[in-house]
Chains A and B, each alone.
Chain A
Amino acid sequence: MGESMLLLVEDNPSDEELTLRSLRKHNIANEIVVARDGVEACDYLFGEGAYEGRDPADLPDVVLLDLKLPRMSGLEVLQRIRADERTRTLPVVVLTSSSQDEDIITSYKLGANSYIRKPVRFADFSEAVRQLGVYWMLINEAPRR
């Protein structure tokens, strides 16, 4: 696992495709995993359900988390991430449809590290990862660790 990895939690196919396109275009992350609802995201992170057996220690470098998700909302996912010892420090960037959303404030209270207004553009993403201190994600095929 010498490569960067990113978890995108997004239920809207258009948003997913646009985000993936933007990130890939700039060679962000070697691996992008997509979860399409909150439950799937948690299953992936904690090696449960459909991801039974996955090593929870193998965490993504950053999670891009949409807030409006089926089954389990983004805020609930965030809560769970921050509640778990293993994922407490995992960088989470919240995706929002409005920069004036009160959900942003709630997200920060729950421990989000940053937010990006959708659609995810490269410039916004760069700014977010800079804030997170994970610049290397921006450097193509940079060695990890």
Chain B
Amino acid sequence: MRASRRAVIVAFVYLVFGVTWIVFSDLIAQRIAAGDPGFFEMLQTWKGLAFVVASTLVIFAFVTWYDTHDQERARRLDTVFASTSDAFAILDREWRVRYANSKANLFSGTADIVGMSVWEAFPEMVGTQFEVAYRQAMDERFETRVIDRLPGFGVWFEARGVPIPEGLAIFGRDVTTQVEAERARAQAELRFQRFLDHNPMAAWVTDDEARVLWASAGYQREFGGAVDPVGRSLRDLFGDSGHDALWTSLATVRETGQPLVSAERLRRGEGEQGQYLVHRFPVDDEPPSWGFVAIDIAREVAAEAHAGRFGDEVGAAQLQEEMDAMVHAVSHDLRAPLRALTGFSEALQEEYGDAFDADGTRYLGRVYDAAVTMNRLIDGLLELSRVGRAPLAIGPVDLAALARDHVARLARAAPGRIVTVDLPESLMVDADPGLMRQALGHLIDNAWKFSSGRADARITMSVDASDGELAVLLSDNGVGFDMAHAGRLFAPFQRLHGVQEFDGVGIGLAVVRRIIRRHRGRVGIDSRLGEGTTVRFTLGGMRNG
């Protein structure tokens, strides 16, 4: 154990004091006892001197201790303010600088501004927003803050005035980097926003509850109508099936963190469906949000379906022509034996009907019905081939008038049926009148037929120009069908309903498609089981008149 120096000194002083006390106290006691008045007087003088010396020592020690601490405090303050990027100064109420950190001195360009007026120390602030802010803080005693360009420095400066009891604390710092970063960010955001506003793709972001947080202008154009999607749920916006189409597969995105793309049918307006390539991808992590982009692919789907079924139509045009001619010729020849079948079945029934028992009559009926059906199939083939071969005679046609005529004809043939028909006043297009009559005839026949089970049957013809191209929509509220089978519909002799349910051989839509194709238009169909069907077609160069 090593003795500290202080301990040695204390021990030594105590030793000296103790020895001195022992030696002198007895001496002093003896002299007092002896009653020497001169000695008593001397003792009094020494006592006064000793008191003065002791108190001097105490005061000296105290002041020294205080000074040391005060310097230490100032040094610490300085260290703190020196270490901040802010310039900092304390002003008294006369605007004199009472304290300034090194940054403040640096800003002013003077070695030490303490004692100067702040307006002398920082003359460039005079007459600026900064002066206004400082004066306001000083006079009205609340904190002020201003960011502005500092004249003569070419930098962005942030100044803060904080009232304190002795006057005002002022902070200042160069925020050029932050301001410029903020401006760059704002500009980037603006650029991004403009880009999205003019991007034709429909894009939106939802939260984890399938509620829309943001939607692009493209979304509004494609799906929105007048509705603001923000805050609404996908179920609300796209219906149950749309919600499922968009949301179910999101589990995969969630799991893998990878984007997922699929073709989906989405509701586009009232009763209208579109085909879209839907991209889904994660946007934010916490809380999670999801991005969606939907690209209209109706055109591609139609082209693909077409390519799959008929091959390249341009290349196959000649083949098609020959086919049509052959079909035409064969159909005529096929009819003669059929006529014999139907005709002689009838003759047999009429003249020898009595000779048949119930089974015999039924068999004969089967022969007759089969022949009639075949005859209708041949009619369909003939119609299809003729539509392909007939020369186009384009002229002004009023589709609404054609539709009205056809509906009137159907109504005459079925006096009992009540069908609400909603047609535009007039719908002028440039097309082949004969072919359009035929196409509309088939479409209206279908609408009429498939809505026959409804007491409130409705057939609507409308126009949609939202794609920049005029499209005609013919809708019914009939039985509809499952879109899973829609691909087959435009091929000849495809039916989605039993003959017992709905009559027909399945040629109508094939004929319609050929007619529309010949007009260089497109035709698509959309349906919901139990809700109805909408056929949408365009004609090349169609105009609205």
**Interface segment, B284-292, B337-345, B478-486?**
B337-345
Query: At the interface, yes or no: B104 with Cβ under 8 Å from chain A?
Result: no
| B344: A residues at CB distance < 8 A | 14, 18
A119 to B336, CA, bound (A): 9
Q: Which residues of A contact B335 (CB under 8 A)?
A: 97-98, 118
B379 contacts A by Cβ under 8 Å: yes
B383 interface residue (CB < 8 Å to A): yes
Chain A contact residues, majority secondary structure: loop
Report A-chain residues with C-beta under 8 Å of the C-beta of B336.
12, 14-15, 97
Contacts of A18 in B (CB 8 A): 339-340, 343-344, 347
Per-residue CB contact flags for chain A residues 86-127 toward chain B (1 = under 8 Å, else 0) read 000000000001101110000000000000001100000000
Q: Is B382's CB within 8 Å of the partner chain A?
A: yes
> For residue A13, which residue of chain B has the nearest CB?
B340
Please name the residue on chain A nearest to B331 by beta carbon.
A98
- In the complex, B386 has a CB within 8 A of chain A: yes
Complex interface: chain B residues within 8 A of A68 (CB): 332
Contact A98 to B347, CB < 8 A, known contacts A14-B340, A15-B336? no
- With CB as the reference atom, state the residue of chain A lying closest to B347: A21
Task: Check A14 against B332 for contact (C-beta < 8 Å).
Answer: no
* Bound form: Cα–Cα A100–B390 in Å: 12
Q: Which residues of B contact A21 (CB under 8 A)?
A: 347
Q: Are A102 and B340 in contact (CB under 8 A)?
A: no
With CB as the reference atom, state the residue of chain A lying closest to B438.
A100
Contact of B386 with A97 in the complex, beta carbons under 8 Å? no
Add 5 more A-B contacts to A14-B344, A68-B332 (CB < 8 A): A12-B336, A15-B340, A18-B340, A21-B347, A119-B343
| A14–B382 CB distance below 8 A | no
B3 to chain A, nearest CB (A): 131
Nearest-neighbour CB distance to chain A for B182, whole angstroms, equals 74
A-facing mask of B367-388, CB < 8 A → 1, else 0? 0000000000001001100100
CB pair B339–A118 under 8 Å, yes or no, is: yes
Q: Which residues of A contact B339 (CB under 8 A)?
A: 12, 14-15, 18, 97, 118-119
A119–B340 Cα gap in the complex (Å)? 8
- Provide a sorted-by-A list of 24 A–B residue pairs whose CB atoms are within 8 angstroms: A12-B336, A12-B339, A14-B336, A14-B339, A14-B340, A15-B339, A15-B340, A18-B343, A18-B344, A68-B332, A97-B335, A97-B336, A97-B339, A98-B331, A98-B332, A98-B335, A98-B382, A100-B386, A101-B382, A102-B386, A102-B390, A118-B335, A118-B339, A119-B339
Within 8 A of A (CB), among B321-361: 331-332, 335-337, 339-340, 342-344, 347
Write out the residue numbers on chain A whose beta carbons fall within 8 Å of the beta carbon of B343.
14-15, 18, 119
Q: Who on chain A is nearest to B351 by CB?
A: A21
Q: Mark A55-98 against chain B: 1 for CB-CB distance below 8 A, else 0.
A: 00000000000001000000000000000000000000000011
Docked Cα-Cα span, A18 to B344, in Å, equals 7
Closest to A22 in B: B343
Given contacts A21-B347, A68-B332, whether A98 and B379 have CB atoms under 8 Å apart is yes
Q: Are A119 and B379 in contact (CB under 8 A)?
A: no
Output the residue of A12, A14, A97, A119 with the most chain B CB within 10 A: A97
Whole-angstrom distance between the alpha carbons of A15 and B340 in the complex?
A: 7
In the assembled complex, the Cα of A18 lies from the Cα of B339 at a distance in Å of 9
CB pair A119–B342 under 8 Å, yes or no, is yes
